[in-house]
Structure 1
Amino acid sequence: MLNRQSHIVLHRTHRGFTLVELIVGIAIIGILLAVGVPGLSQFTIKSRVDGEISELHRIMLTARNTAINTGQYVTVCPLSGINCQTTNWHNTLTVFTNEANTLANAKVFQSTLVPASEFKIKVKNAAKGGDKVQSTKQAIVFSPTGKLASPGPVMIKYCPKGHPDLSRAVEISLSGRTYASDDIDNDNKDEDRSGNEITCS
């Protein structure tokens, strides 16, 4: 009986980790975290940029379709009061119709007209985390034909803070078609339709 009890006690003392096993386990976990966390951070930022590009693409499609369906000029820009801002595309973007149907008035949102004839169609929230958004135009205006009302194509660049290599863009051709940038040459950096890397200033 005594022999059996001492065997049970002896058996119990062998359970658990030794100090060496514990240190080795912690070291392995530390190495895995050191390798995995930067990759996870990169993945998170890339997902955020992809989401923003997708949303910019959708808002341009909405603006173009609204122009065609209503027969009115439709503007996309960052509004400050009733006027489109020259810069600050990282702020809230607004899609609105233009009652006057002229390019000259397309950069002013007149919500006080009676009867109401200019309407906000869609609003996109501001960019997050200090990211930059740059546009080659003050405002993007679609004509009732769906084409760009202003001369020349437009590019909107989305530049994540501290990660310029993950920058992406949305391009709008003169016909009003919208294109998202892509990594054409498989170098993990997006290029525009002409093959130029997306860079932010």
Structure 2
Amino acid sequence: MNRGFTLIEMMVVLAIAAILLAVGMPYLQGFVAKGQARSLSAELSRSIMMARAQAVETGQTVSICSHSGASSPACGTAADWSNGWIAWYGMASAGAQVASQRVLLVTRQPALVGISTSVGDFSFAPTGLVSRATASSTLVFTIACRANAAIAFRTVEVGRNGRVTLAPEKDDVSGCS
């Protein structure tokens, strides 16, 4: 009695496995992108809440700006948050070097998702209020797919009073790869 399987049986199994993998791969990338979006929105909201708390606790201005991508912490010159963000004690200004300041945190973004916003930088006054927002404005950060910015996962909003809110998640992430 021979035990085992033939080469043809093995090739059929491999072909079926390859087909299943090819069909499932886009869903896997969407699943990973959604996880990265959750993580990024949580990290951004935690960073903003931490900066506000530090401003109130220490009585100093605390700023958050987009990272320039340089090896030493420096603010980006525009609303390009693709390199992450920096929080530090001091007033925000575009292109500012923050290495000499007391840096609170420096973060980087994951590969599949990114932040879309018109905000370049903003500061929290010692009172906890956002100093770069008008009385009626809200700072809006959209967590979106890097490959297709039209696929937005979550929105992080910061009110003039410094309150952070997260918009509900969007479920359709199949186009993000």
Contact kept in structure 2, 1:133 and 1:159, CA below 8 Å: yes
Runs of 4+ aligned residues of structure 1 deviating over 6 Å after TM superposition are: none
What are the superposed Cα offsets for residues 125-160 of structure 1, whole Å, 9 maximum, x if unpaired? 2x2437542223221211212121221210112222
Instruction: Pick one of 132, 139, 145 that aligns with 1:154.
Output: 139
Whether 1:120 and 2:103 are equivalent positions in the alignment is yes
Whether 1:180 and 2:166 are equivalent positions in the alignment is yes
Contact kept in structure 2, 1:59 and 1:124, CA below 8 Å: no
1:96-135 equivalences in 2 (<5 Å): 96-98=88-90, 105-107=91-93, 108=96, 118-125=101-108, 127-129=109-111, 131-135=113-117
2:66 aligns to what? 78
| 3-state SS of 2:54 partner | helix
Contact kept in structure 2, 1:75 and 1:106, CA below 8 Å: yes
What are the superposed Cα offsets for residues 40-99 of structure 1, whole Å, 9 maximum, x if unpaired? 12111211222111111111011100111011221100255766522222124111222x
TM-score, structure 2 normalization: 0.76
Contact kept in structure 2, 1:76 and 1:96, CA below 8 Å: yes
1:48 aligns to what? 36
CA distance in structure 2 between the partners assigned to 1:166 and 1:39 by the alignment: 16
2:82 aligns to what? 90
Change (3 A) 1:161 1:111: closer
More RCO (CA 8 Å, sep 6+): 2
**How many residues are treated as equivalent by the alignment?**
163
Unpaired stretches in structure 2, ≥5 consecutive residues: none
Whether 1:169 and 2:155 are equivalent positions in the alignment is yes
Change (3 A) 1:155 1:166: closer
Report the CA distance between 1:166 and its aligned residue: 4.6
What are the superposed Cα offsets for residues 11-64 of structure 1, whole Å, 9 maximum, x if unpaired? 2xx322245533432232123212222221211121122211111111101110
Contact kept in structure 2, 1:76 and 1:139, CA below 8 Å: yes
Instruction: Pick one of 125, 136, 144 that aligns with 1:143.
Output: 125
CA distance in structure 2 between the partners assigned to 1:97 and 1:50 by the alignment: 27
> Root-mean-square deviation (CA), in Å?
2.7
CA distance in structure 1 between the partners assigned to 2:25 and 2:83 by the alignment: 30
CA distance in structure 1 between the partners assigned to 2:110 and 2:63 by the alignment: 23
Change (3 A) 1:189 1:38: closer
CA distance in structure 2 between the partners assigned to 1:16 and 1:110 by the alignment: 66
Report the CA distance between 1:162 and its aligned residue: 1.9
Change (3 A) 1:15 1:82: closer
TM-score, structure 1 normalization: 0.68
Rg: which structure is higher?
1
Unpaired stretches in structure 1, ≥5 consecutive residues: 1-10, 99-104, 113-117, 191-201
| 3-state SS of 1:167 partner | strand
